[in-house]
A = this chain, B = another copy of it.
Amino acid sequence: MDIHETVLKARPVDLDLGPNSVLLNAKDAKAMGIRARGRVRISGGGTITTATAFITGTLVRSGEVGILPDIGRMLNVKGRTELALEPVGLPESTLLIRRKVLGEKLDKSEIASIVNDVVERKLTDIELSAFVSGLSSHGMDMEEVANLTMSMVNTGKRIELNIGRVFDKHSIGGVPGDKTTLLVVPIVAAANLVIPKTSSRAITSAAGTADVMEVLAPIEFGADQIEEIIKKAGGCLVWGGTMDLLPADSMLIEIERPLSLDPECLVLASVLGKKKAAGSNYVVIDIPVGNGCKVTNDDDARNLGIKFIELGQRLGMQVECAITFGGQPVGRAVGPALEAREALEALNGKYRGSFTEKATSLAGILLELGGAAAHGKGKARAEELLESGQALKKFKQIIKLQGGNPDIKPEDIELGKFKQTVNASHEGYVTSLNNAVINRTTRLAGAPRDKKAGMYLHAKKGHRVEMGAPLFTIYSSSESNLDRAVKYSTGAHPLRVEGMVLQRVNTG
């Protein structure tokens, strides 16, 4: 093979062109035979990477290569380092992606080749989008999904606990106010089972588990620190984003999001891949079903559950799935601070309802899988661990190890200083709650960035309310955000009382 290296001097450029991009002077690009957005291999500082070349007439001179911050860090560029550049052709994975778009099945090494090129940032947005589209159009069979999952695990970091049995819980999401994890982890860890829980921040919802936990303690830790916490407490509640467990998944999500695509094979690989990377081998998956959830009917939920179980078997994990009611928020609180407060109330024995019901059910499944409760007795054992204060004790230990205040009381958690209550304009029964509207209202109030923003539901489905009784209260740190949220909620009806229109009748 011909060697066509060109040595250029690095020139740092502070510009965000997406991952692994460099700037080339038009003259050099022409001499090297590189077209706009062509691929180049760059070596320097002992590292080699592939980058996309953008062409400029003036921002870098001939003889220079414009190095953007991310690639500068990767190549350890300091000042005017010399870098060797060479044009490279299409990676083979481009043709494999084409085959998936045309509906073909890919084998293990072909899938690995694509995932490697994703992680090494050898693929352009155009190619990544075609891959996501191909997966959305044709899907993958279970053998392909297992290969995809293991390729994603193999190209990322792993948590190595060297413990035989590791437990985990995951919800495929979509239900507002679902802070279940904040009870499941301490209950399960209180039973001496190991549960290294990594969670996500909100993307389109009002609060992810990571956002809620962050109200109580730091959540960003490296794999080593997590291993330390787990050794001491048996459980943790941390953000998964810092750890790079499944980098291919994160990169593909960046493509899925603007397309509103969410192919099932990527959901399966993303969920169980992260569990595999965390070393988990006993997993309960929560599949909420209802309007506004990812899954809207029981048949689809059962089919998805069967796939999780089969994928688990292929990955050497024991998976159980719980199909849960997702037609309205879990508990009454939506938004980071409100949800953290509700979780602490439950651990302190000051709340009983749908939230503790769901949390003890899911925790109970893990207790049974782990032999910490007899078959059929898991839920009762989970309730006992909650009511006896053992779960609270464990939660305090976790908060402390993560660097938070273990003695925090529910009422210590500050809520938005601006609030407004919407009351019922008629007496009647609450006939429905709209997850999407509740979510949007809470986000308009400022969540998840404004942790003190949220929505508290005074009534839930089936409750009877009198005229003038409070239906919900919106909190925000910003008066104008509160105003927008209230205005929106008044028109969009997060709750319906016997089909009558709600009106704002006073300020709370």
Contact = CB atoms under 8 A, between A and B. Distances in A.
A137 B127 contact: no
19 contacts: A13-B59, A14-B56, A14-B58, A15-B55, A15-B57, A15-B58, A16-B36, A16-B54, A16-B55, A94-B259, A97-B259, A98-B261, A125-B126, A126-B126, A126-B129, A126-B259, A127-B259, A129-B130, A130-B133
A95 B261 CA distance: 9
Contacts of A255: 126
Interface in A88-135: 90, 94-95, 97-98, 101-103, 124-130, 132-134
A23 interface: yes
Contacts of A353: none
A37 interface: yes
A134 B101 CA distance: 8
Contacts of A134: 133, 137
Contacts of A56: 13-16
A316 interface: no
Contacts of A506: none
Contacts of A468: none
Given A101-B261, A127-B129, 4 more contacts: A101-B136, A124-B258, A127-B258, A130-B261
Contacts of A15: 23, 54-59
Contacts of A258: 90, 94, 124, 126-127
A17 interface: yes
A41 interface: no
A499 interface: no
A143 B4 CA distance: 50
A354 B108 CA distance: 48
Nearest to A259: B130
A491 interface: no
A18 interface: yes
Nearest to A258: B126
B59 A102 contact: no
A138 interface: yes
Contacts of A162: none
A134 B37 CA distance: 23
A360 B205 CA distance: 67
Contacts of A94: 258-260
Nearest to A484: B2
Nearest to A23: B15
A90 B56 CA distance: 29
A17 B66 CA distance: 14
Interface string A408-420: 0000000000000
